[in-house]
Structure 1
Amino acid sequence: MLWKLFLQRTRMKRDVEMRDTQRQRLVLILIMTGAAFVVVFLAIFLLYRTAFEEEKARLIETAQSQARLMEAVARFDSVYSHNYPEGTEAATLSQFIEAHKQFKGFGDTGEFILAKRVSDQIKFLLSHRHSSLMIPDSIPFDSPLGEPIRRALKGQAGFMVGPDYRNVTTLAAYEPIEHLHLALVAKIDLAEIREPFYKTGLLAVTVGAGVIGASIVLFWRLSNPMVEEITHSRGQLRQLTHRLQAIREEEQTRIARAVHDELGQTLTALKMEITCLQDELDPDNPEHKQSSDTMTRLIDQTIAAVQRISTELRPRLLDVFGLPEAMKWQTQEIQKRTNIEFDLQGIDQHVKLDAERSTALFRIFQETLTNIVRHAQASRVSVSLKQENRHIVMEVQDNGIGIRKHQIHRPQSLGLLGIRERALVWQGKVRFHGAPGKGTTVTVKLPANSK
């Protein structure tokens, strides 16, 4: 009956592990998907920044070259165009405006702006590519729509991202033409620079989502049999471990009972026979008396050894008085061999468990104390055992050197692995917490008796 109950619990545990594994796979897939999209968008962003910087360099170079060209033409006209009716500056402007009529701009939205300041107004001298007017209306000098032109008219040269005369965000390079007191701006809409990258990003998301979706389905189908096989193997190993532990406990109990009952009774009867024999020996013969005393002492030592071995194999206190008393006995035995002090005030005497859970917790407690004696270098250990809602919680805390994180999951830590496996059989949890120089705390939490 108990074995069937254990198998039922194991199947439930395997189902839970399967769901946990599926969640872990899903989280892994989401992480990989997120990482893939991050890489794609990072690549697109870097390409966009490169295109932005290249366009910026082109606009600056174009504005500078056109401004310097106009200055050179102006200097030439100042020497050789005195016959132009409206003056040399007008001659230069007329040549530039005539050349501009043949220029269709760069890209879909790129254009030049040429303007001068007239009182508190900015007067445009070229027809705009995006305006139906031959010459657009002037705008106030302090208008937020003319920032690149305003800066150039102040004698500044540079590059900026800001609104143009249409209130559209543009990349603009501006240069002053000092000889003519004019301003030149070469600009292009920011949206034109971004548009291909927006389209590429949308295409990457669409195609990537399809590819990743297909990959997820394929990965899930291919990995599902392997995950099920691994989960099934873990369940089988856990069943085998529990069965071996149960067989060992049964064998130890049988041997302990046989040693205590049969060998103990035989030794007791032998001692009684020797006692009767002593009454028949010659009291005046010291050799006989010494031999009988020695035999009696050896039998007493053997009886004590038999009781100790029997108790170590299977403490009768655990079966007769329960887990709390067995834990107290175990600490007393360790205290006889070491200088460790035990604080047992946290042990609740009213905790009741079935035989299997009591055995599991007691063996975990024994292994924990063994680790403390071997490795912790502790002088004091506090033990608590209590029931919290539907769980039994055992906590063992020492003041030793403290366990390190890398030691908890180290393959060589077979004792800790055994503690975990014993708890997992009953769907329990084990937590190891340690800090260098501040000791180690082992907390075990098992479900209480099932009804």
Structure 2
Amino acid sequence: MGKEVKEEELRELIDHQEKIREDERKRIAREIHDELGQHLLAFRIEVSLLKQEIFDSYDKRSERIDEILEHVDTTVKSVRTLINNLRPAVLDLGLVASLEWQARDFTRANGIECVFHTNDAAIELDDKPATVLFRVLQEALTNIVKHARADRVDIRLKRDGGNLVLQVSDNGVGMPKVRNRKIKSYGLAGIRERIGMLNGEFKIATGDTGTTLIFTIPANS
């Protein structure tokens, strides 16, 4: 029975991960069509209008060129957004700086106080594990917004022997039933899978007043 349950959970997780990938492909395609495609079309129209006689005067032509430049700037911003969604550029600043930025951005976007703490500002990781920690933090914060009803989040990154430990704590309503049932949240299942790929460990400490997610990975992942 135990083996059958694990195989069923694995199939559910694989199906869910494939759905996530397909949804992500659809989202990217939609953004390219709606954002980049529309901007490029507008850009083409603006350029073609320059050939019309109505813009032969210097002032009118200059005004039209300014409008074209505005479309170019908007298109550049759209491209940067698409790239950032695929791999956040802030990761180039290092792990600590990227997690600190994410905390500030979370506060700005959601009005929930979010504070980042670390006992070693010089912590560095290779690109893959750093990206994983960035993404699991992103997922954890998304879950807090959706479910926790919290007004404060604390993020802590620390060295612990040969490991790195990332803790995400909120003061929300908690998940008191998690200890007594299988976690059905695919968000948490996805987090567990990401951490597992780094030979790490994912734990949840929860009650009626807040939840802490604990991610532990080898420091040399």
The two structures have a TM-score, normalised by structure 1, of 0.36
Asked whether the equivalents of residues 117 and 157 of structure 2 are also in contact (C-alpha less than 8 Å), the reply is: no
Rg larger for: 1
The whole-number CA distance in structure 2 between the counterparts of 1:408 and 1:300 is 53
Q: Secondary structure at the match of 1:382?
A: strand
Of structures 1 and 2, the one with the larger relative CO (CA 8 A, separation 6+) is 2
Give the SS at the match of 2:192. Answer: helix
**CA distance in 1: counterparts of 2:180 and 2:168, whole angstroms:** 16
Change (3 A) 1:344 1:411: closer
Partner of 1:361: 133
Aligned length: 193
Structure 2 counterpart of 1:383, which letter? I
Between the aligned partners of 2:56 and 2:205, the Cα distance in structure 1 is: 65
Q: Secondary structure at the match of 2:204?
A: strand
**Between 341-350 and 441-450, the greater mean CA deviation after superposition:** 341-350
Task: Encode CA deviations 1:159-208: one digit per residue, 9 max, x unaligned.
Answer: xxxxxxxxxxxxxxxxxxxxxxxxxxxxxxxxxxxxxxxxxxxxxxxxxx
1:282 maps to a residue whose letter is S
2:191 pairs, out of 405, 409, 419, with 419
Residue in 1 that maps onto 2:173: 401
Distance, in Å, in 2 between the alignment partners of 1:284 and 1:419 is: 57
2:77 aligns with 304
Equivalent residue for 1:140? none
| Alignment partners' CA distance in 2, 1:282 and 1:354 | 56
Structure 2 counterpart of 1:381, from 150, 153, 156: 153
Q: Tell me how far 1:350 sits from its aligned partner.
A: 1.5
State the distance in 2 between where 1:347 and 1:297 align.
Answer: 45
Letter in structure 2 aligned against 1:308: T
Calculate the TM-score normalised by the size of structure 2: 0.69
Amino acid at match of 1:439: G
Deviations 1:195-229 (A, max 9, x none): xxxxxxxxxxxxxxxxxxxxxxxxxxxx9xx96x9
Give the conservation status (yes or no) of the 8 Å contact 1:396–1:442: yes
2:83 counterpart SS class: helix
Amino acid corresponding to residue 86 of structure 2 in structure 1: L
Deviation at 1:443, TM superposition (A): 1.0
Give the Å deviation of 1:292.
Answer: 4.1
Instruction: Indicate which of 55, 77, 94 corresponds to 1:322.
Output: 94
CA distance, structure 1, for counterparts of residue 194 and residue 181 of structure 2: 16
Gaps of 5+ in 1: 1-222
Which amino acid in the other structure matches residue 214 of structure 2? T
User: Deviation at 1:327?
Assistant: 1.5
Q: Please tell me whether residue 430 in structure 1 is matched to residue 205 in structure 2.
A: no
Q: Which residue of structure 2 aligns with residue 117 of structure 1?
A: none
Letter in 1 for 2:69: T
- Counterpart residue type for residue 370 of structure 1: T
- Equivalent residue for 1:444? 215
Is residue 345 from structure 1 mapped to residue 120 from structure 2 by the alignment? no
SS of residue in 2 equivalent to 1:348? coil
CA contact 2:155–2:169 (8 Å) conserved in 1: yes
Matched residue type, 2:78: A
Q: Distance in 2 between matches of 1:339 and 1:398?
A: 14
Provide the rounded CA distance (Å) in 2 between the counterparts of 1:306 and 1:372. 29
Q: Alpha carbons of 1:376 and 1:282: their partners in 2 closer, same or farther (altered >3 Å)?
A: farther
Superposed displacement of residue 290, structure 1? 5.3
Task: Report the secondary structure of 2:205's partner residue.
Answer: strand
Q: 1:407 to 1:374 in 2, by over 3 A?
A: farther
Note the C-alpha offset of 1:338: 1.3
Q: Aligned equivalents of 1:417 and 1:424: distance in 2?
A: 10
What letter matches 2:114 in structure 1?
A: F
Distance 1:289 1:328 in 2: 43
Q: 1:378 to 1:294 in 2, by over 3 A?
A: farther
In the TM superposition, 1:189-228 aligns within 5 A as: none
**8 Å contact from structure 2 (residues 104, 115) kept in 1:** no
Cα-Cα RMSD: 3.8
Q: Deviation digits for residues 37-71 of structure 1, max 9, x if unmatched?
A: xxxxxxxxxxxxxxxxxxxxxxxxxxxxxxxxxxx
| AA partner of residue 325 (structure 1) | A
Q: Does 1:282 align with 2:57?
A: yes
Amino acid paired to 1:441: T
Once the 2 structures are TM-superposed, how far is the Cα of residue 416 of structure 1 from its aligned partner? Answer: 1.0
CA contact (8 A) 2:119 2:159 kept: no
Checking the alignment, whether the CA contact within 8 Å between 1:281 and 1:289 is kept in structure 2 is no
Q: Is the 8 A contact 1:348 1:386 kept in 2?
A: yes
- The answer as to whether partners of 1:407 and 1:413 remain within 8 angstroms in 2 is no
Inter-partner Cα distance in structure 1 for 2:178 and 2:212: 16
* Identical-residue share of aligned pairs (%): 36
Paired with 2:180 and 2:67, the residues of 1 have a C-alpha distance of 50
| Inter-partner Cα distance in structure 2 for 1:409 and 1:290 | 65
Rate the CA distance shift 1:283–1:379 in 2: closer, same or farther, 3 A.
farther
